[in-house]
Structure 1
């Protein structure tokens, strides 16, 4: 696991890119006969942060590179041929709440440094990259291989595409708009019911943090973890937003860990059991007022942490099953 996607794309050499372009071009047969009429509803034009992208026909070979793009495609009934395994699941590259939706394991393609040659070898009809670092550099690296559907217009926080935006955008690409709206409505209705069932959540403040490799950090609005809790009715402590400077996450020095104090503080470790033990014993974290008052939750179940971090409709639903009871128990004490 990691705190979320890093915010910079590693460099890929010009020679590698040239090889990819030769592979992609050499693999096509320009003499092939037309396959017939396009599917109903195509072509479609999808708005992205980098301009409109036209999808000529219903995609058959889909590559899912953005954070939780693969889980979103699966929820819509489409199995990507290649995926980016952002949370280190292995196997199918998606969480256990989604892995059974694959008939066979897809190709693993890398995350911050996607394997362009492997992507091109899959001959994708489209590359989904709807939750990414928002960088022009990444878009320009991928776009010679296939049409790239990046984050929707207006997304300012890196990796800040909401689950609603991602579901609708991927559904538009795949020609599954009706199912996409069903998924959005079902999860929004669940949030509405949870808010109604837990009116005490309203007007309470939250802070969400992580501990990774000896460093604390805080998530800010635009990150799926904060947004999930906000949709339960909580309000975010605003002081950390400026520190994040347009990113989804801000590192915290030991002196700033107290910034995680709120009516409810949720922190999770990224690492093995020793990281959980550290958080439960760290005098800095345990000394903040919310911890002293019993309003600190240390998430210690890796599957729940991954679901909380997933940002897909499938993962968010799984996370709500576990995190809502924990919040209720903590606030009742």
Structure 2
């Protein structure tokens, strides 16, 4: 089973949430989302029919026992004021597979945590939770796994075969909102995220048309992993940046939008006005700086660098209605500094 479309070795550890500022920021994002979403579904809309890659799913009545079988969909469910009975751990070892930006929406709830493993879905555990809806829009469903999960409960799948993982966040959110009877609420959430991007772009006109490249936290097997325009780069382009197509030459045929750049060709990163490294701890930056070819890059010499912390990197990869506002709040001021030639390190 293909666990994730991100070609990286996750250097993951539990992130201690001891910083009051981080907790406040996360609480604000989740509280704002919950207030926009409301907590009640419109029961008059049921039954609801959702089309997807394997046909259509009918949700006969308002679901009350929801299992999230995908990697990131709990954010949307929680943002809509609904607490799932089961969630899936993707990475990060966060409490109840819920990252800081969504913890306020989770509250004191303790959903069952399922594992995303190469062995497939934990179908027995899912069935034991007696769900009336299984959400798996970001779960890599095949027709076979969809059929098996549908034998347990109505199952929400990805839109088509090409989006088995990481379908656009707003497309996923809209389907989930309709399945929960909360179309008005989810539309408001999506509009709110887009407006936050627009406001941040307007507040930082210096971002417009600047070239930015987002990279993973380290060099893997002598290569840097950078992202083409599309996968994991909306957070930059919606702020006004453009992703230079110079890196496209290093995307393999099955690369899924990821450029795998050998260190001997790392100078291609000089096409960027700013480099954003998805670092997860101080040691990551130190490891990058051990490579002479890294130190010789123009953005490195000019200080046009952003280094994330582990939570911000996770928020970028989650790309959800709850994580994206967190990304904007953390990244916009850091990018402002980096463009002025001061390397910015995001911390909790």
2:55 to 42, 51, 57: 51
Aligned partner of 1:283 in structure 2 is 292
What are the ranges of 5 or more consecutive residues in structure 2 without an aligned counterpart? 8-41, 342-348
Work out whether residues 218 and 288 of structure 2, in 8 Å CA contact, stay in contact via their aligned partners in 1.
no
Aligned partner of 1:11 in structure 2 is none
Q: Which moved more, 1:91-100 or 1:282-291?
A: 282-291
2:333 to 316, 325, 328: 325
- Cα separation, 1, equivalents of 2:262 and 2:121: 31
Aligned CA RMSD, in angstroms, stands at: 2.6
Aligned partner of 1:316 in structure 2 is 324
Aligned partner of 2:83 in structure 1 is 79
Work out whether residues 207 and 260 of structure 1, in 8 Å CA contact, stay in contact via their aligned partners in 2.
yes
1:163 to 161, 169, 176: 169
Work out whether residues 304 and 340 of structure 2, in 8 Å CA contact, stay in contact via their aligned partners in 1.
no
Distance 1:256 1:142, change over 3 A: farther
Aligned partner of 2:279 in structure 1 is 269
The DSSP-based 3-state class of the residue aligned with 1:98 is helix
Work out whether residues 269 and 279 of structure 1, in 8 Å CA contact, stay in contact via their aligned partners in 2.
no
1:110 aligns with 2:115: yes
Aligned partner of 2:11 in structure 1 is none
- Cα separation, 1, equivalents of 2:175 and 2:276: 30
Q: How does 1:57-68 map to 2 (within 5 A)?
A: 57-68=61-72
Q: Which moved more, 1:94-103 or 1:313-322?
A: 94-103
Alpha-carbon displacement from aligned partner over 1:257-291 (angstroms, at most 9, x marks no partner)? 44444122111235x54323212443233333322
1:203 aligns with 2:232: no
Q: How does 1:179-258 map to 2 (within 5 A)?
A: 179-211=185-217, 214-215=220-221, 216-223=224-231, 225-241=232-248, 243-244=251-252, 245=254, 247-258=256-267
Q: Structure 2-normalised TM-score?
A: 0.77
